[in-house]
Amino acid sequence: MVWSGIDPVALQIGPLAIHWYGLMYVAGFFATWYLVRLQLRTEGLWETRVSRDAYEGLFTTLILGVVIGGRIGYVLFYNFSYYIGHPIEIFYVWQGGMSFHGGMVGPIVMGWFYCRKHDLPFLKLSDYFFTVAPLGLMFGRMGNFINGELWGRIVENPADVPWAMVFPHAGPEARHPSQLYEMALEGMVLFLILWFVRKKVWPAGVRVAIFLTGYAVARIICENYRQPDAQLGFLFGPVTMGMLLSSAMLLAGLIWLLLLFRQKSE
C-alpha cells in the first residue's frame, strides 16, 4: 500500500496555516483536561479539594512541563552532539524534535513543585492525569502518521504484512506503519486498562506505576517495528534509544508497584 499522506495543513487562511499535528496536540490536551476534571467531580474533589483556579494553573504548568521536558529530553538523548555545536537551535521547537520520556519527566517535576506550593494532593492528581495521558499519546501518534514521520522498519516480505506502507520521503520500500502500532498499544489499549482500574481502590500512585510499566512494555514492543532515529541508529545489537529509556522506565514502574503494595500490606 502506498501511503500518499494527508496534507499536514488542515486549514490555510492567508499566511496562517493550521496543521493537523497541532490539532492533535489540542485534542490531546482537551481530552486530558476534561477527563481529569471528570474524575475530580466523580470523587467529590472538584471545588472542594481542588479549586477551578488551582486546576487551571496546574494544567498550564503541566503543558509547559511537557514542552520543556520533551525538548530537553530530545536534545540530551537523541541529538546532543548536534545541539552542543548549535545551542541556539535548542529553542527552535517549531522545527520539531521532542522526546516522550523527557515530556513525561518535565510535567512530573513541575507538577510536584506546583502541588507543593498550592497544597494539592500530588500523587492523587498524578493518578488522574496518568490515567488519561495515553489519549494524548494516541493523538500524538496519529499526528506522526498524518505527517508521514517516525515510520517503521522495512518489511522484508510485504505479502506477509498486507498493511505495510510506502511512506513519502522514506524510500520505495514497504514499511511497518509503526505510528499506528504505537497509537493502538501506547494509546488506546493502555488508556482502556487505566480507565478500567480507576474503579478499584488502590494506594495513591498505583495508576502512575501501571502507566510506567504499561507504556514501557508497549514502547519496547513497538520499537521492534519502528525505524531507529537516523542520527543514532542502533545503540548496540537490536537495542534502540527508545528501548533503553523504556527499560529504565519499566524498572522504575515495577519497583514503585512493589513498594506501594508492600506498604499497603504492612
Annotation: binding site: 141
Cα-to-chain-centroid distance, residue 175 = 22
Provide DSSP, 33-65. HHHHHHHHHHTT-BTTTB-HHHHHHHHHHHHHH
200: left (phi over 0), alpha (psi -120 to 50) or beta: beta
CA distance linking residue 147 with residue 193, whole number of Å: 28
| Residues forming a β-bridge with 21 | none
Q: Residue 162, SS3?
A: coil
- Grid coordinates belonging to 226: 519502528
